[in-house]
Amino acid sequence: MTPVKITAPFTKEAVKGLKAGQEVLLSGVIFTARDAAHKKMSDMVKKGRRIPLNLRDAVIYYAGPAPAPGKMAIGSCGPTTSSRMDPFTPELIKLGIGGMIGKGGRSEEVRKAIKKSGCVYFLAYGGLGALAATKVKSARAILFRELGPEAVYRLEVKDFPLIVGIDPKGKDVYEKAGWKKE
């Protein structure tokens, strides 16, 4: 089956037909954010402060890029374990994010939030950070620079290979494969 090509940011309407397990090639602008950045954003929301980043329809990639070698835009840029972001994810989904990229399963609370909002969770190929980096055309730290590789980076990507992990209807590729959650 040929991968579906989509562009980020995207509306919920643009991805409503995606199905768990489907291959996707994503192009456009995405933002990296790992544990420390998620905590900072969550703390801002809890204090009633505005996050200085428009998350409406945005895609967040759970990654902390390595320094760029040579003429590349970025160094190795593989996904981190998504469940570490689960305590913060429902709150960010309420802010209107369109999608997330990471690796591994998600909590029931996150899956329900995805289904309720119509956003999507993508799986990036673990262990292929160097390959993922070749799909990044530009990278720039834009928020929480003091966090180094855990800062929020704005990435422009072209044909970034992904799999739909949880589709907008809440169908989970791990459940589809018969894996039981503990």
In total, the chain counts a number of residues equal to 182
The residue type of 92 is: L
Which CATH architecture best describes the domain 4-176? Alpha-Beta Barrel (3.20)
> pLDDT tens digits for 78-127?
999 999 999 999 999 999 999 999 999 999 999 999 999 999 999 999 88
Structure tokens that stand for 172 in this block: 């989970």
Q: Which of 34, 38, 106, 135 is catalytic?
A: 38
Whole-model pTM? 0.94
As a whole number of angstroms, the distance between CA 125 and CA 161 comes to 8
As a whole number of angstroms, the distance between CA 17 and CA 112 comes to 18
As a whole number of angstroms, the distance between CA 64 and CA 74 comes to 10
Domain residue ranges in the chain: 4-176
Q: Is 175 a catalytic residue?
A: no
